[in-house]
Amino acid sequence: MNQRVAANLAWMLFERGLQVGIGIVVVAMLARALGPVGFAHFQYAQSMVLIAASFALVCGAEVVVPRLVAADGPHPEAARHALLAHAFVLRFAGGVIGYLLMLGYLGVTSPDTEIWHAALLLGIAILLREPFGVVSAWMQARTHNRPGVLFNMAALGTKAALVGALFLWGVREVSGYAAAFAIEAVVVAGMQILYFRLRMREHHVGGLLSVDWRRSRLYELFASGGLFWGSFVLMMGARRVDQLVLQPAVPAADFGAYAACMQILDNFTVLASVLAAGLAPAYVYARGNLAEARANTGRVALALTALGLLGGAAIAACAPWIVHLLYGQAFASTIALLRAAALLSALVFADVGLTLLAVHLRRPDWIAIKWLAVFVVTLLLDLAIVPHYGSWGAIAGYGLGNAVAALVGVTLWWRCRQTARVAAL
């Protein structure tokens, strides 16, 4: 590993580690303040919001960033501003659709009033985070991500301070903590748009009303990112459908125990994405030879899988200590669930590594097929066994869904061997 890759990876790990570390502390305070039932309501609302938020990624970074980089002409900043404005409109429209779908689901399922309040507040992020996130894409295109990192850290610190204050004051209402999460999204969006407007003024670029609006540009951006968008919606659905099926099937305390288990594993498995993002540019994406890219993808996937197994085994061994430290004695039933699910989480590491080949080959259809298969299998299994086995049925669905994702990745990686051989001739 060369020095540049190592330094970049170390920075990414530091940033993500800080986010995960603060996130774990925040979740621990939530669990202790709200108890199993209140924590269950908060996590259920957050699951719905995460699925609904995926609809706002109509025009993702993989569509916007290359076009920003390629923007040329006599007024490149004006062209970039127009592109970002169109992307913002698409994302905001997607966010509105996602928010309305969440409200519709709440109306049909008629959950507890506490869940309604939490979802309405947490849902504010649906309308802010991704739409105003076009500024992050603009920073990425300029290879100047530092302001965005600082904005995220400031907002995260604000949320942590608010949650800490509520915890010390003995607040037990779910809506109070949901408001703190909503404020985080408001802070990030406010900083992003203020920074962007200041930079645009330096180039004498006007506001949204001065943009040359074109329906054809909206359609082109939507069409270009449609497959990625669908893949992301399916992925979020596959990752959270277990909680939507489990919540009405078990007591709130049991759901809270399962949600606490998944919260720990979400913080662990994000390590796979960080490592893959740091390794892929040099070891996969930069390889013009398909055979070499395929071979390196296999090596990265094996290394990540081994890391996932080691980390999962460590979490399983330390499960009682981890649960008692973070959540307290009230979440003792989480221990057994965590021991089983931690070992299954290695499949997530394998899937992340194998997905690099599809990204390298620019095959979003492969990714869409994979997540469609995972979503269908997970949903069907959860519907069949969760009503009978409760949280353990959801654990089985988690394991099978991840196994399907890894199996699809292995299949596509294996099928590329012949193509790689022909390309090498």
DSSP string covering 126-166: HHHTTTTTHHHHHHHHTT--HHHHHHHHHHHHHHHHHHHHH
d(CA 21, CA 68): 33
Q: Is the pLDDT of residue 9 over 60?
A: no
Residue 76's nearest CA partner among 219, 204, 220 is 204
The DSSP 8-state label assigned to residue 58 in this structure reads S
Q: Is the pLDDT of residue 424 over 50?
A: no
Residues 54, 236 contacting (CB under 8 angstroms) = yes
363-401 pLDDT, tens per residue?
Answer: 888 888 999 999 999 999 999 999 999 999 999 999 999
Residues 76, 116 contacting (CB under 8 angstroms) = no
- pTM of the complete model: 0.87
7-20 burial by CB neighbour count: b if 16+ within 10 A, else e?
ebbeeeeeebeebb
Residue 96's nearest CA partner among 123, 59, 68, 63 is 123
pLDDT at residue 423, as a whole number = 47
The alpha carbons of the chain give a radius of gyration, in whole angstroms, of 22
Confidence of residue 265 (pLDDT cuts 50, 70, 90): very high
Mean pLDDT of 209-224: 80
Question: Hey, what are 264's tokens?
Answer: 């720990």
pLDDT at residue 356, as a whole number = 86
Instruction: List the end-to-end C-alpha distance of the chain, in Å, as a whole number.
Output: 29
Q: Is the pLDDT of residue 74 over 60?
A: no
Mean pLDDT of 337-343: 95
Q: Is the pLDDT of residue 43 over 50?
A: yes
Q: Is the pLDDT of residue 26 over 80?
A: yes
pLDDT at residue 150, as a whole number = 85
pLDDT at residue 68, as a whole number = 77
pLDDT at residue 289, as a whole number = 76
Residues 405, 370 contacting (CB under 8 angstroms) = yes
Confidence of residue 137 (pLDDT cuts 50, 70, 90): confident
Domain ranges of the chain: 25-213, 225-425
Residues 341, 397 contacting (CB under 8 angstroms) = no
**Is 70 buried (19+), middle (13-18) or exposed (0-12) by CB count in 10 A?**
exposed
163-192 pLDDT, tens per residue?
Answer: 999 999 999 999 999 999 999 999 999 999
Percent of the chain with pLDDT over 90: 54
Q: Mean pLDDT of all residues in the chain?
A: 86
